[in-house]
Amino acid sequence: MDSFIVAALALCSLTAPAYGDKGTSKARSCSDIRQFYSGKGFSLDVVPVSEISGEHLRICPQGYTCCTSDMEDNLAILSRREMEGLLKEAGRALQTSLTGQYKAFDGYFLELLNHSAVSLQDMFTSTWGSLYSQNAQVFSDLYMELRHYYRGSNINLEEVLNDFWAKLLEKLFYQANKQYYIGEDYLECVSKQIETLRPFGDSPRELKMRVTRTFVAARSFVQGLVVSGEVVRKVSQVQLSQECMRAMMKMTYCPHCRGMASARPCANYCSNVMKGCLANQADLNTEWRHLAETMIQVAHNFEGPYGVDVVVLSLPYRISEAMFTMMENIETINNKLFQKCGDLRDGGTSSTGVDDIMKRGKITVEDKLGPSSSKLSKLVSDVTVRLRNMQPYWVSLPNDLCSDRIATGTGAEDKCWNGINRARYLPEVMGDGLASQINNPEVDIDITKPDMIIRQQIMQLKIMTHRLKNALNGNDVDFQDTSDDVSGSGSGMCADDMCSRGPRLVVPITERPKHYPHPPENGRAVKASAKQNLPCVTVYLLSLLILLLRR
């Protein structure tokens, strides 16, 4: 009997440390989290001095903890704010890249257009003399309209070119027949004959084809860069959900509450959290890739014999060539016009000045491309690299955001934070996109309710891709003012603080977290401690009673 009592006491002494209530021994200090919590800008009034029981926790494992409910709520809101800051920072980096490409191409194209206009003025002054100087407005109006079109104005480019040739026909006919009195009505009749008369030969048709294809492509391309930047900005400002906030809190700050401040998330655990939080963003991937690929195709068409630099810089030569064609055939053209519009009566000046020009012969005004072509090649090469690099942005974002926070090194898979403790993370990694998150173990998502802001941006990507595909075929598109439906601010490249729509409200936690099938280990220990200590105490008291009775 004595041996039974001794054995029972020995068993009790061995099991007491394993199952005893931690509250009977000295609780661990919360000094580390007090320092951490204060460093985040929070008051220490709610922070315990030593660990407390964690039944009140709604996100973190409910073992012994240094976090109160208020601390958990504050850290949850902080985790969401920090993640939204990281998303904006990543978005700004991509916006900066797109802005750089936009400025480079936009600056180059406008430089080409300005250079072409200056060349025409210089060369036409020496070639056409007073005939040009007296009608310079016709040419300056053409370049002004081309700039407005490129900048996105609602202008029909074919009508601009048709009007230019019609006005030029009127001016040249007037200059070539200054010995006659020519009224406005007669000139209007002259301009209406341009289609049947074809005074400029094939130049108007060829120029229309080249200019239209070039300017439609250039305008669509820069607009694509603007729209891309706006999509990134708007999507990067989408507020993360309550479910994501809880998941971020559990992954980021629950280790601090458990006294495991140095524990870093398991790689697959972080991936599931990020893929769940950014599920809607990942759905941009398909249309984002389509847009980037189409822009690359458009950019490659900027080079070659009909590239933007060749077309823009050769405008003075093409126009001058057309003018010489008309003047060489002015007698035949006059006869046909007299038949259509009636004879003219004398009453003008004696000299037209055209004969002197024709005697001098044609003067070639074709621009030498030289370094411009090599500069364009570099621009196309740079933008192609940038566009290819940005294609996987939305699906690689979760891994990019995880790369700096996950546990690495020897034994990392077994010693990382898995949301419950330091141990291996067992669930599989989810796929990309909203539909793939139906069984995400970390973020509770209703896959039937996509984010509407992001869906709108997906539609904008589709619209822009359609416009670019039209541009590839040389087809003009109805370019609406995109300040409302696409580019928001109109620039697409504004800084985050300038584009903000005002402060956002931070919504406190109002829902209880979902219950996991496997409760935290420490939670089980806390709840079981009283029951497990009772048999040991009972054995100890019975043993003492038996010894007393035997005496």
The 10s digit of each residue's pLDDT in 273-283 is: 999 999 999 99
* Percent of the chain whose predicted confidence (pLDDT) is above 70: 77
> CA-CA distances (angstroms) from residue 309 to 110, 349, 368, 383, 428?
11, 42, 10, 17, 53
531 is a domain residue? no
CA–CA separation, 106 and 100 (whole Å)? 10
Residue 345's DSSP bridge partners are 181
Q: In which band, very low, low, confident or very high, does the pLDDT at 144 lie, cut at 50, 70 and 90?
A: very high
> CA-CA distances (angstroms) from residue 213 to 39, 159, 306?
59, 14, 9
pLDDT tens, residue by residue, 305-319:
778 999 999 999 999
Q: Structure tokens of 40?
A: 């985040």
In 3-state terms, what secondary structure has residue 65? strand
Q: Where in the sequence is the domain holding 220, given as residue range(s)? A: 72-357+372-436
pLDDT tens, residue by residue, 193-241:
898 999 999 999 999 999 999 999 999 999 999 999 999 999 999 999 9
97 is a domain residue? yes
Averaged pLDDT, 244-261: 94
pLDDT value at 514 more than 50: no
CA–CA separation, 346 and 507 (whole Å)? 86
What DSSP string describes 466-499?
HHHHHHHTT-------TTTTTSTTTTS---HHHH
469 is a domain residue? no
CA–CA separation, 195 and 500 (whole Å)? 53
121 is a domain residue? yes
Cβ 45 vs Cβ 67: under 8 Å:
no
pLDDT tens, residue by residue, 74-122:
999 999 999 999 999 999 999 999 999 999 999 999 999 999 999 999 9
pLDDT value at 509 more than 60: no
CA–CA separation, 20 and 182 (whole Å)? 114
Residues in the chain: 551
CA–CA separation, 265 and 429 (whole Å)? 14
39 is a domain residue? no
H-helix or E-strand containing 181?
strand 180-181
pLDDT value at 524 more than 60: no
108 is a domain residue? yes
First-last CA distance in the chain: 14
155 is a domain residue? yes
Residues 6+ away with beta carbon under 8 Å from 170: 187, 190, 191
Max CA separation in the chain (angstroms): 154
Q: In which band, very low, low, confident or very high, does the pLDDT at 304 lie, cut at 50, 70 and 90?
A: confident
Residues 6+ away with beta carbon under 8 Å from 34: 44, 47, 49, 66
Q: Structure tokens of 264?
A: 């870093």
Nearest to 271 by CA among 419, 373, 164, 118: 419
Give the pLDDT score at 344: 80
Interstrand relation of 180-181 and 345-346 (parallel, antiparallel or unpaired)? antiparallel
pLDDT value at 530 more than 70: no
Nearest to 304 by CA among 226, 224, 217, 390: 217
Provide the number of structural domains found in the chain. Answer: 1
CA–CA separation, 26 and 13 (whole Å)? 19
Residues 513-544 as b/e (b if ≥16 CB within 10 A, e otherwise) read: beeeeeebebbebbeebeebbeebeebbeebe
Q: Structure tokens of 290?
A: 């389509």
Give the pLDDT score at 499: 40
Residue spans of beta strands (DSSP E) within 9-61: none
Residue 346's DSSP bridge partners are 180
State the average pLDDT for the chain. Answer: 81
Give the pLDDT score at 373: 66
Give the pLDDT score at 63: 86
237 is a domain residue? yes
Nearest to 457 by CA among 253, 287, 270: 287
